[in-house]
Amino acid sequence: MVSYLVLNSFKETLDNSSLDSNTKRLIDDIRRSLYDFIQKNRERKIPFDKRRPITFKRAKKPDILNREKLTKDDTIKNDINSDFNKLSPKNFDKLTERILTILDKHNDLVSFVVENCFSKATMQPIFCEMYVKFIHILEEKYVDINTIIHEKCDMFNKQLSEFKDSVCGYRTEVTKENYDLFCEETKKKQFKKGYSQFIAHLFCSNLIQIKELRNTLKQIQHNIEESKEDPKSSYLEDNITCYIETLDKSCNKNNLELFALDIFFCEKMKAIKDLPKRLKFKIMDFQDKIKKIQKELKEDD
């Protein structure tokens, strides 16, 4: 860019006779434009050489999460949920302490935190014990935890009855057309496995009574009875597996009498016609465990 002074000195050094009229007129027009610009800046009392460059304000990025519309409670819940999503045995102490600090100021969110423990356990069965450990910490701080746990058990138990067998199963090839159904079935299977394990861990940790555990086992029994006409269905297999694994985790020689009905029901499951051998063996393994416990009890007597 050429300044006014440079342009002016440039014109004076030129031989006017060597410039044609058009060139002279262009130089004069440029000089006048620069001169007018300088005068306007002087009137504004801002030296031209000290003026800041013109900056353009960036357009605001769209808020695809609608965070501007969130209430204060929604924002706090999002923060808690974010910590839950990152929770693992390695950072357990740090993140649970952060959640507890929030709860100290917002006691009304305790139920939300307990429900998060239930939800995350159904999605991450391998971390069931970790979420039970956190509920234990909550129990020490809040007196109404047992009531909340009972409410959540009722709520999640109802979801077990909604998970019926779909047209897509282990015997069906996954295609583009049934892929969504396959994903839904996988999600349901994961829920049953995670929730039944979580309930068993809650029972073993004395956070729920036999009543809550019995309600879960009763619903799974109902699912088994409802689907036993198709002994090779994935739905039946999922429910028998969850039933046996829940019993195996919950039953021991100190509470064996609480599971007399379940021991009887194992015989009914084993008698299902055309039941796959792998499921029969799973049932028999649990029965062997019961026989071993019964033997130990007799020896103790």
Q: Report yes or no: 191 and 204 within 8 Å, Cβ to Cβ.
A: no
- Residue 299 pLDDT level (bands cut at 50, 70, 90): confident
- Residue 68 pLDDT level (bands cut at 50, 70, 90): low
Q: Which residue has the higher pLDDT, 282 or 46?
A: 282
**What are the pLDDT digits (tens) for 53-66?**
555 556 555 555 55
Does pLDDT of 25 surpass 90?
no
Residues 31-55: b if buried by 16+ CB within 10 A, e if exposed:
eeebeeeeeeeeeeeeeeeeeeeee
| pLDDT at 5 (0 to 100) | 59
Give the count of beta carbons closer than 10 Å to the beta carbon of residue 125: 18
By the 10 Å C-beta count (0-12 exposed, 13-18 middle, 19+ buried), 194 is classed as buried
Q: What is the percentage of the chain residues whose pLDDT exceeds 70?
A: 77
| pLDDT at 168 (0 to 100) | 43
**What are the pLDDT digits (tens) for 98-130?**
999 999 999 999 999 999 999 999 988 899 999
Does pLDDT of 226 surpass 80?
yes
- Fill in the DSSP letter of residue 301: -
Q: Is the pTM of this model over 0.85?
A: no
Q: Report yes or no: 190 and 123 within 8 Å, Cβ to Cβ.
A: yes
Q: How far is CA 156 from the centre of its chain?
A: 16
Q: Report yes or no: 232 and 272 within 8 Å, Cβ to Cβ.
A: no
Q: Report yes or no: 199 and 153 within 8 Å, Cβ to Cβ.
A: yes
- Torsion angle (degrees, nearest 10) of CA 61, 66, 72, 73: -140
Q: Report yes or no: 110 and 76 within 8 Å, Cβ to Cβ.
A: no
Does pLDDT of 209 surpass 80?
yes
Q: Which residue has the higher pLDDT, 18 or 170?
A: 18
